[in-house]
C-alpha cells in the first residue's frame, strides 16, 4: 500500500522547498492537502510525481514544482481575492484557498467543474467558490481581483483578463513563445500592464489560449 502522506512530504522537500519556494504557507498547504484526491483514480499512484497528470478532456494537472513556484511568485496575501482560471478538478484552488481570503475557481468543462466543486467541499475549502464558464472570459461579475492565477500555459493573455485586475493586481501565468515557456507576472498600474519573467518553465496548454495561426501565401 502506498504511503501517500510520505509521498506528500517528499514532494514538498524535493519539488517545492528545494526549488526556492520559501513561503511556509505554500509548503504547509501542499504538505497537507491530498493531491491524490484531485486526479483520476487511475493516476493516484503517480499523484506526487514530478510531471503533469492528465485529467481527461484535453486537460492536465500542473506538476508540483511549476505550480508552487508560480504561486510563490504571485505573492498572494491573506486578504486577497484570487481568480483561478482552469481549475480542473480543483487542486490548485484548494491550495490557493489556504493563502487568500477568497478564491473564485473558474472551470469551463461541465464534468470537471462538477467534480472540482465536490472535491473543494470535501477538502474544507469553504472560502473557494466554483464557477462554470468560458476560461478566456474570466469572471467579470466576481472581480476585480487582486490576483488572477492561470493554471496552465497560454500563448496569449486575453485583454479582458487584465481588465479584471485591481490596481496593483497581479496575473500569474506560463506564457509560451516560439515553443519556450516562461513564468510571468503581469502587474496592473493605472491603465498600464507591465510584465516580468520570473523563471523558465512549462505547463500544459489551456484550450482557447492559443495564438491564431498566421497564413502565408
Residue 13 sits in a domain whose CATH number is 3.40.50.150
Q: Show the domain range for 94.
A: 4-200
User: In this structure, is residue 205 part of a structural domain?
Assistant: no
User: In this structure, is residue 210 part of a structural domain?
Assistant: no
- Tell me what pLDDT residue 211 has: 80
User: In this structure, is residue 111 part of a structural domain?
Assistant: yes
Q: Under a CB-based contact definition with an 8 Å cutoff, are residues 85 and 217 in contact?
A: no
Q: How far is CA 25 from the centre of its chain?
A: 16
Spatial separation of the C-alpha atoms in residues 41 and 185, rounded to whole Å: 33
Domain count, the chain: 1
User: In this structure, is residue 206 part of a structural domain?
Assistant: no
Q: Which three cell numbers stand for residue 181?
A: 515557456
Calculate the CA dihedral of residues 7, 5, 126, 101 and round it to 10 degrees: -60
Spatial separation of the C-alpha atoms in residues 106 and 87, rounded to whole Å: 6
Please tell me the total number of residues recorded for the chain in this structure. 217
Query: How sure is the predictor about 87, in pLDDT bands with cuts at 50, 70 and 90?
Result: very high
User: In this structure, is residue 10 part of a structural domain?
Assistant: yes
Residue 36 has pLDDT above 60, yes or no: yes
Q: For residue 49, what are the contacts with CB-CB under 8 A and spacing of at least 6?
A: 63
Give the start-end residues of each E strand in the chain.
53-56, 59-61, 81-85, 102-107, 128-132, 145-154, 165-177, 180-189, 192-200
User: In this structure, is residue 211 part of a structural domain?
Assistant: no
Q: What's the pLDDT tens digit per position in 99-120? A: 999 999 999 999 999 999 999 9
User: In this structure, is residue 168 part of a structural domain?
Assistant: yes
This prediction's pTM: 0.94
What would the mean pLDDT of 16-41 be, rounded to a whole number? 96
CA dihedral sign, ordered 59, 36, 80, 186? negative
CA dihedral sign, ordered 15, 18, 23, 25? positive
User: In this structure, is residue 136 part of a structural domain?
Assistant: yes
pLDDT > 70: percent of the chain: 98
The pairing of beta strand 128-132 with beta strand 102-107: parallel
Amino acid at each position: 500500500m502506498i504511503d501517500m502522506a510520505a509521498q506528500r512530504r517528499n514532494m514538498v522537500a524535493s519539488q517545492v522547498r528545494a526549488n526556492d519556494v520559501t513561503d511556509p504557507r505554500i509548503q504547509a498547504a501542499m504538505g497537507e492537502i491530498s493531491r491524490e484526491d484531485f486526479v483520476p483514480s487511475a493516476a493516484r499512484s503517480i499523484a506526487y510525481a514530478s510531471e503533469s497528470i492528465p485529467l481527461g478532456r484535453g486537460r492536465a494537472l500542473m506538476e508540483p514544482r511549476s505550480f508552487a513556484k508560480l504561486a510563490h511568485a504571485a505573492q498572494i496575501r491573506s486578504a486577497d481575492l484570487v481568480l483561478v482560471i482552469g481549475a480542473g478538478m480543483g487542486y490548485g484552488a484548494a491550495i490557493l484557498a489556504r493563502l487568500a481570503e477568497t478564491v473564485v475557481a473558474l472551470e469551463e468543462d461541465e464534468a470537471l467543474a462538477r467534480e472540482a466543486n465536490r472535491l473543494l467541499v470535501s477538502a474544507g475549502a469553504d472560502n473557494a467558490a466554483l464557477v462554470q464558464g468560458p476560461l478566456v472570459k474570466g469572471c467579470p461579475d466576481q472581480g476585480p481581483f487582486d490576483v488572477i492565477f492561470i493554471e496552465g500555459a497560454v500563448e496569449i493573455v486575453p485583454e479582458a483578463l487584465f481588465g479584471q485586475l485591481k490596481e496593483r493586481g497581479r496575473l500569474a501565468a506560463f506564457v509560451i513563445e516560439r515553443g519556450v515557456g516562461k513564468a510571468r507576472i503581469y502587474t496592473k498600474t493605472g491603465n498600464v500592464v507591465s510584465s516580468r519573467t520570473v523563471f523558465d518553465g512549462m505547463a500544459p496548454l489551456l484550450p482557447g489560449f492559443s495564438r491564431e495561426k498566421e497564413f502565408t501565401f
